[in-house]
Chain A
Amino acid sequence: MDKKEYQRFDEELFSTTLANGLKVNILPKKGFHKTYAILTTNFGSMDQEFLLNDEKIEVPAGTAHFLEHKLFEKADYDAFELFTNNGADSNAFTSYSKTSYLFSATENLKDNLNILLDFVQNPYFSKKSVDKEQGIIGQEIQMYNDDVDWQLYMGILNNLYPSQPISTDIAGTVDSIAKITPELLYKVHKVFYRPSNMNIFVTGNLDQNQVLKWIEENQNAKTFDTDFSFTIPEETRVVPPVIEEKEVSLDVERPKLMIGINNAKNLPAPGPDRLKYIITLDLALYLILSSSSKMYLKLYDQGLLDDTFGYDLNSERENLFLTMGGDTEVPEELAASLKEILAKDLVQLPHLDEDFELAKKEMYGRSITRMNSLEAIANSFEGESYGNTTIFDEALIYQDITLDDVLDAYRNFIKDTTVSTFKINSK
């Protein structure tokens, strides 16, 4: 195993790639009672088409999430129950580009690791269980439909990425999930759950050599069908332009506004530079949009925004987008003010040097806080897209960033973009 030492934080990361391609990362946390393990595949709601042995396979919206639910259920057992019988908590989540399965436990680590690897890698799908799941997920989708803030977020994504997989709901729609069959799930699983497309991160109360040995034993006992060829077809559809403005009326107390920008032109290739770029941009956004910024205070004092305001920079594969918004009585005015703020060069900000140093301190300290949490350590690991960096690298990167880096990153991000607006009015 490769060992990476983080002396300042008194932590060590052990990494290796197994013969079958599965990537393993282990971070011991002495003195903790719990161990947390998360197994991730690079397959998410954005993946809606592929070629398997030259056969074109359409993946209905919501399939990744559906598959996530379905993997827990086997012919003669339920993985969820196995975990609980072992005193472990388990869960799973699906994002645009990934699906993750996890457990946390304070005992029986070996058994729990085996359960995790086995239930994710040994699929079982039947017609009956697929039909049943369509009912459960149907309810989940309805729950999201009642969530106005979710509607707001989906609205802006739809503006930024009209008719593209990234703007379809992760859970899909009642109609799209109705198209899912066991055969499709098997094909998807074979292609996207092959070990070389996956990584496992284990952290907590453990011995790294023992954990590696357990994982290796489990993997060596399995054979995987790798006798197939597959490709993800090049995106040939014309990408429609960003929708500049859209509004809907819903049953809300106060109007809601969200504005967004998508621009991945300057996103570095996968690797540590990608993380550094995103962190750098995040610092720029912190300077202009966070609740510590003078602009925020001004809008707050003018009553244009309140504590519901937030912003989020999100990177999914080769996409990068910024969203911001919240509840407001005056959506038009808020949108105009935000656009004005975004258009200004950072260099015009008063006390920029001081505020920048302060922002760096803040971000470094926040990283340290997250180091107490096993979940934060493991969940923030993005694998190859960020060059296998961890939360500990992140803290160190913050200290290296210069003001010029921030100015450049922001200028490049904002240049030649369309700022899109999505509004929810009160009915």
Chain B
Amino acid sequence: MDVQIKPGIQALVLPDRRFKTVRIDLHFLKHAAIKDLAARSLVANILETSTQKYNNQVKFTHALSEMFGASFGVGAGKKGNTHDVGFSIIVANDKYVQGQSLIRTAIDFLNEVIMHPLRENNGFDDETFMRQKQNMINYVKSSIEDKQYWSAQQLRSLTFGTKVIQGVPGYGLIEDLEGLQNEDVYRAYLDMIENDLIHISVSGDVDSDAVLQDLSRFEFTKRNINLGTLITNFAVLDHELKRVEHQDVKQARLNLSYNIPAFITSDDSFTAIVFNSLFGGSPQSKLFVNVREKASLAYYASSSLDLYDGILNVQTGINGMNHDQTVEIINRQLEDIQNGDFAELELNNIKKGLRSDYLAGMDQQRTAHRRGLNDYLLHRHVSAEQWLEKLDEVTKQNIEEMARRVKVRAEFFLNGD
């Protein structure tokens, strides 16, 4: 059941008897600018820790324990040019907890978290603000310790530049974060709850009408919002962007990006999905087999797709000495696909794997929520049958043609000292 509760507030209920839990996801979405990111991410962190009613962490976590250990989380991230502050809560189905209505309790809890944060004057509780700001600064600074993540981030800023939100991490810029005052963040919060697009989804062994009734407990007001297009087309560059950094690492990281002419809104995306799986997106892919298994060059070598921005990324962990050889092997894999140097059987196996992943996803609540949100944002509805059919229709020729239009964009290389 997919209904608009109020203008700008959409609800999706997905009854499914197989699950022993009920999951509620709630997203606040905005077409965001770079400066929004740090403030909105900090809002997410602040809301996650306390409310007026649960004004310290013990009360807060006890409220979750009372709901039989509800899992609750707030996250911030990007989808193309859109910023998403997402809340999710998972509770046991009412039938395992002797007649309590955990769904209603969970909805009230989410409402409390979102609408009634701990505040004073025109800001959040100052102590909470200061602490969460410091925690987030610590987190961002520590992220350099995860070399794989950090290298991917460096590649991102190289690929997209630093003027668009695609080029910065979901949590924004550290200098923005450090400069944030309580009032700024509170203003971002008010803007979020008053003006963002809201998407709510509920899944589990539930009755749709009863759930819809319960969802009316949220104190959200109508809003007038149009997210616009989620897709950005980054023009192919005439020369490859390159950057090398040296750090005290034992394993070097080689990350590459490419333009790929495919976006989530078009049927080309199915060709891109199959291409990616064949190139580096699966354990049977050319990168995995040739870079890791045959040449023993790397522990990981894979590719991933960003269908909101038409970008393909490759990431490997190698011995720094083997840089040139690795690049050469990666290039050769792309050429092989361009030249059709792969068997129909290989293609069919790749499709089987994708088909299986898709079906397996249907056994998880979070996948249903994710697919539901995507469908809503992209103004479409793709049923499982349709998805699998589109997948099946991708031909060898489609893939060769797409591979020929894949153009290298940027390379980031983190090497040892």
Q: List the interface of chain A (C-beta within 8 A of B).
A: 8-9, 29-34, 78, 80-81, 84-89, 104-107, 132, 135-136, 139-140, 142-143, 145-146, 148, 251-254, 290-294, 296-297, 300, 303, 306-307, 327, 358-359, 361-366, 368-369, 371-374
Contact = CB atoms under 8 A, between A and B. Distances in A.
Given A143-B299, A369-B92, A253 B141 contact: yes
A366 B61 CA distance: 14
Contact of B17 (A31, A143, A253): A31
Given A34-B359, A142-B251, A306-B135, A372 B365 contact: yes
Given A85-B349, A148-B145, A297-B57, A362 B299 contact: no
A292 B92 contact: no
Interface residues of B, number: 61
Given A84-B353, A307-B135, A372-B19, A292 B68 contact: no
A294 B355 CA distance: 48
Given A106-B355, A146-B250, A364-B69, A84 B141 contact: no
Interface string B350-366: 00110111011011110
A146 B319 CA distance: 13
A31 B18 contact: yes
B301 to A, nearest CB: 10
B251 A9 contact: no
A387 B68 CA distance: 27
Interface in B283-302: 283-284, 292-293, 296, 298-300
Given A84-B353, A146-B147, A359 B65 contact: yes
Please classify the interface of chain B as helix (H, G, I), strand (E, B), loop, or mixed, using the class held by over half of its residues.
mixed
Interface of B: 17-21, 56-58, 61-62, 64-71, 90-93, 96-97, 131, 135, 138-139, 141-142, 144-145, 147, 248-251, 282-284, 292-293, 296, 298-300, 317-319, 349, 352-353, 355-357, 359-360, 362-365
B299 A139 contact: yes
Contact of B298 (A88, A139, A290): A139
Contacts of A89: 283, 353, 356-357, 360
Given A104-B360, A136-B292, A253-B142, 8 more contacts: A106-B359, A139-B319, A253-B141, A292-B64, A306-B138, A365-B92, A369-B71, A372-B365
A390 B377 CA distance: 41
Given A9-B20, A365-B69, A292 B58 contact: yes
Nearest to A366: B69
6 contacts: A32-B18, A136-B293, A361-B66, A365-B70, A368-B21, A372-B18
A369 B90 contact: yes
Contacts of B355: 87, 106
